[in-house]
Amino acid sequence: RKFKLVDTAGMRKRTKGIDAIEKMSVEDSLRAIRLAQIVILVIDGTDPMEKQDVQIASHVIEEGRALVVAVNKWDSVEDREETLDQLQYKFDTSLAQLKDIPYQTLSALNGKNINKLLDRCLWVYDIWNMRIKTAGLNKWLARMESQNPAPLISGRSNRLKYITQIKTRPPTFALWCARPEKLADSYKRFLINGLRRDYKIPGVPVRLLVRKSKNPYA
C-alpha cells in the first residue's frame, strides 16, 4: 500500500492573543482533517489530556474521518496503567462516538512502536471501509427491537421496518420506520451504540439516517 502523510502544526490551547500565522496554521490543520482518511491525534503521555484534545478528536469524528490516538513520550511515563485509564475514561465520558477510540503508545524520540502505530492505522482504515450484509443487519435490528422497542407514539407502535448500509467511509446506515420524525434521539443513540458494539466499530464514526415507511400503520 502507498501512504501520503501530512504533518500539521500543533494546535495550542486558545489564548487571548493569537497571531495571524498561528491562526492560518490552525485553519490548515482543520482543512487537512477534512481531506484526510485517517487522522492520528498525537498527545503527550506525560501530561493529562486537555479539553482541547477531546475537542479535536470530536471534530475528527464529526468530519467522518477514522481516528487513532498516538500516546507519545511513553518511555517517560511513570504510572502507565493509571495514564491509560485516565485516557480511556476521558474519551468514554466525553462523547458516545469517542468511546473505545483505539490508541497506540510510542516514543517518537527512539522510534519505539512506530510500526505498531502503522498497523493500528491500517486496521482502523479497514473498519472505516467495512460493509455489513443487509440480511444480517435486519436480524440484528429485530433482536434490538425485541429487547427494547421504540417508544410508543400516542399509543401506536413506531415499528422499525428495515435497515441497510448505504455507504462506507464512514459506515452509514439507513433505517425505515413508521414515524421517523418521532424516533427519539436517545433511541437512535441506542441503535448506533448497538451497531458499534455488536459489529466492533471502534475509532470510526457511525451514522444513522432515519427514513419514512410508505405505510406508517403497517
Positive/negative CA dihedral, 110, 115, 116, 118: positive
The domains of the chain are located at 20-128, 134-212
- Rounded to whole angstroms, what are the CA distances from 58 to 7, 23, 62? 19, 20, 6
Q: Does domain 134-212 have CATH number 3.30.9.10?
A: no
CA distance 135 to 3: 35
Report pLDDT digits (tens) over 70-127: 999 999 999 999 999 988 888 888 877 788 889 999 999 999 999 999 999 999 999 9
Report pLDDT digits (tens) over 171-214: 999 999 989 999 999 999 999 999 999 999 988 999 999 999 86
Q: What CATH code is assigned to 20-128?
A: 3.40.50.300
